[in-house]
Amino acid sequence: MGERPMQKESWGRSSASRGVTAAGRKLLWASFMCSIVLVLQYLAQPASADPVLASSVGFCKPVRLEATAEERDRSVQCCLPAPRRDPKRFQLPRVHHLRVRRPAHELANDVEYVNKYNLAYERMNALPADDPRSFLRQWHTHCSFCKEAYLQRRLNNSATGYPLQLHYSWTFLPWHRMLIYFHEKILGSLIDDPDFTLPFWNWDNQLDATAGQIPQIFLPYQQSTRWPRQHGRHGKIRNTFLYEGKRRNPNHMPPKVLPLTFDASLEKERANWTHDQIRHANLGQVYEMVYNKVSAREYMGGPYDTSSNFTEAVNVTVGESGGSESLHNTAHEWVGMLNNTAYPDNEDMGVFTYAGRDPIFYSHHANVDRLWNVWKALPDKITPDGHRVRRDYDDYDFLETEFTFYDENADMVIVKVKDTLDSRKLGYTYQPMVEADSLWINHKPNGTKPSYKRSDVRVSTSNAIARHPTSFKLTRRAPTAGDLRGTQAQNVNQLSEGVVLEHVRVPELMYVRFDVFLDSPTATAETDEDESAYVGTFTHLPSGVTTVTDLGQKLVHVEDDDMYRTLNIRFSTSLALKRLGVTDWDTDITVTVVPRFRPHGYGWNIKALTFACLRQEFT
Ligand SMILES: [Cu+2]
């Protein structure tokens, strides 16, 4: 296979003892390239990267939709109305009692709640289009900020010239928290209920079989005797707005449960999975993507400041999603119309552009928000120290980042990230789900270890993610005091070990999903994600909109450099290494990337899915 040269590699315990063979020279070259990337990154650091003002004031462009055979230039206008009054600074509310968000599956038959919830949305939907509180504008808020309609600004309001993007970085959690915070406040004000809370879609809950289904409140209620309360003295449930006209995959309705390892290309093969199999895989996935992430960088994503430009071809600062964001992508794909030719745009949930048009979006994000709180309270038990406290970033550029939203009075409010970090200070909390959470916290992956001879391993020397599972060599070393810089670890034993694929070029329009295994060169698409060697999944939602199949006619577009996103993709390795019995720092290992998508039309000889280097990193 021409694009994927493979080399037999000699494996010593120490990389120093390796002879300089042709393969060795290539590997040396690869690590040289890795250091060049790092040096360039360092040199190109602008002297004055500052916190970002994510504002809906100023230049706004329509959001591009990918061309179809019929229409070459398609776009959606999701710019927000200008504020009618001067923006105000956000003030933390005076909290007398905490509002409690409850799980959607437990609220399904609460007639009073569901009717209130539906009425609030009906009223929101009835507001005129120039009202920023209207459902249309709530959807547009997500569409415009998450699809780069606006430009990133400095805190003095001057534009940086870079598109504003609130995914792929540390802004993902705080921005979406405040989006649903104001959304909830507006809904409450429309029904004169200041205590109103959004329900959360508790998809990580594997204790209750209904928790991971599309919650009943988003579906038409059946005339059923199973829920007599619906039609009893409490009246009937009306939920028309919550489902009518929403575009969701009809194959994923209850009793189907959201599989958190969902893989559109394997959907047929996995159709016969038992509920127990799904349940087990789901626990493993939340364990890997939440519990296994100790540092802020691993869970929340990489930094975002005024030097960050995620969409330029030759860029320095690249996007980096945390475990939280990667995990949340799966529910988006599964609810939306992925790979349905009648819905080429994957709407609603399957694409950032339309996700906010489905009310389930706000409940999905409420669970993402809840898991953020849960994550901060998890014990370490992963780093050699074992007692690192999981904390939010404390960088100045993070804390001082500003967002603008419209509040329940239709006023523009400027919120600083530092005011978003404690949900209790914002006046709300979540109903505790201790028993369900503990299932994934205490999950034990299958103990199976792959057996192979190191001397038989063929590692790739080209930095490309290929059609078939590909193994790469990862050179390891012990952490030093220098690795502490920029982290929140108190000492080297608190550092979390990981592997980073640097500067992966991902076509914006391409659905990409791959699994990563350590020291498991025999891993294939059939390998269970719940085995010891698995360290996580990367998922990229097509963020222009098109089906994968449609791309067959549009190869030319992929040549445009601005159609790529450059991302760092990080996997936490401490626990897997422990499980695999790799206890020293000198053992080099293989990293096997198993693609779980079929890029029809792209072919594999594309510039896409190459990366600059693969390296060990401590955070
Ligand atoms: Cu978003």
Kindly report, residue by residue over 338-395, the tens digit of the pLDDT: 777 777 677 889 888 889 999 999 999 999 999 999 999 999 999 999 999 999 999 9
Q: What is the 143 CA–ligand 1 centroid distance (Å)? A: 8
Ligand 1 geometric centre to CA of 428 (Å): 21
Mean pLDDT throughout 462-483?
91
Range in 117-126, 277-286, 292-301, 302-311 the model is least confident about: 302-311
What was the pLDDT predicted at 68?
58
| Domain assignment of residue 325, yes or no | yes
pLDDT tens figures, 203-231: 999 999 999 999 999 998 875 555 555 44
Distance 569 CA to ligand 1 centre (A): 18
Centroid of ligand 1 to alpha carbon of 560 (angstroms) = 25
Interval between CA 591 and ligand 1 midpoint (Å): 30
- How many domains is the chain partitioned into structurally? 1
- What pLDDT does 42 receive? 55
CA 340 to centroid of ligand 1, rounded, Å: 22
Q: How much distance in Å is there from the Cα of 322 to the middle of ligand 1?
A: 13
Q: Return the residue matching tokens 């519990």.
A: 291
For 11, residues 6+ apart whose C-beta sits below 8 A from its C-beta are 454, 455, 457, 588
Question: What's the CA gap between 349 and 142, in Å, rounded?
Answer: 12
How far, in Å, is the centroid of ligand 1 from the Cα of 142? 6
* pLDDT, mean of residues 268-290: 89
Compute, in angstroms, the gap from residue 141 CA to the centroid of ligand 1. Answer: 10
Whether pTM > 0.75 for this model: the answer is: yes
Which residue range(s) make up the domain with 249?
Answer: 53-225+233-442+455-618
Distance 212 CA to ligand 1 centre (A): 20
- Residue 232's pLDDT band, with cuts at 50, 70 and 90, is very low
pLDDT for 557: 39
Q: Give the Å distance between the CA of 165 and the centre of ligand 1.
A: 9
CB 406 within 8 A of CB 88: no
Say how many Å lie between the CA of residue 601 and the centre of ligand 1: 27
What pLDDT shows up at residue 66? 59
Say what angle helices 434-441 and 275-286 make with each other, to 10 degrees. Answer: 80
Distance (angstroms) between ligand 1 centre and the Cα of 225 equals: 39
Task: Measure 482 CA to ligand 1 centroid, in angstroms.
Answer: 35
Compute the distance from residue 332 Cα to the ligand 1 centre, in Å.
10
- Find all residues with CB under 8 Å of 161, minimum gap 6, and list them: 151
Rounded to the nearest whole angstrom, what is the distance from the C-alpha of residue 223 to the centroid of ligand 1? 35
**Ligand 1 mean position to 542 CA, how many Å?**
13
Element (H, E) at 499: strand 497-507
What's the CATH number where 493 sits? 1.10.1280.10
Mean pLDDT over 446-468 rounds to 79
CA 409 to chain centre: 31
* Residue 361 falls inside a structural domain: yes
Identity of the amino acid at 218: F
Closest-CA residue to 344 (of 135, 512, 558, 509): 509
Asked whether the predicted pLDDT for residue 405 surpasses 60, the reply is yes
Distance 347 CA to ligand 1 centre (A): 14
Whole-angstrom Cα distance, residue 442 to residue 437? 9
CA 164 – ligand 1 centroid, Å? 12
Position 30 in a domain: no
In a domain, 251, yes or no: yes
Local confidence band at 238 (pLDDT 50, 70, 90 cut-offs): confident
The amino acid at residue 184 is E
Torsion sign across C-alpha atoms 107, 108, 110, 112: positive
| CA atoms within 13 A of residue 217's CA, in its CB half-sphere | 29
Within a domain: residue 286? yes
CA of 146 to the centre of ligand 1 (A): 6
User: Residue 395 corresponds to which amino acid?
Assistant: D
Under 8 Å between Cβ of 309 and 168: no
| DSSP code at position 263 | -
- What spacing in Å lies between the alpha carbon of 294 and ligand 1's midpoint? 23
Q: Please check whether residue 125 lies inside any domain of the structure.
A: yes
CA 40 to chain centre: 27
Instruction: Please state, in angstroms and rounded to a whole number, the distance separating the CA atoms of residues 43 and 213.
Output: 49
Q: Is 351:345 a contact under the CB 8 Å cutoff?
A: yes
Residue 155, pLDDT above cutoff 90: yes
Q: What is the largest CA-CA distance in the chain?
A: 82
d(CA 308, CA 303): 8
Percent of the chain with pLDDT over 90: 52
End-to-end CA distance of the chain: 36
510 Cα–ligand 1 center, Å: 17
How far is ligand 1, taken at its centre, from the CA of residue 166, in Å?
7
68 within a domain of the structure (yes/no): yes
Gap from CA of 147 to ligand 1 centroid (Å): 9
Is residue 544 domain-resident?
A: yes
The pLDDT of 106-128, averaged and rounded, is 95
Look at residue 38 in the predicted model and tell me its pLDDT. 60
Q: How far is the CA of 297 from the centre of ligand 1 (A)?
A: 18
10 alpha carbon – ligand 1 mean position (Å): 45
Distance set, CA 435 to CA 109, 431, 442, 592 (Å): 22, 12, 11, 34
Percent of the chain that is helix, strand, coil (3-state, to 5): 30, 15, 55
Percentage above 70 pLDDT, the chain: 81
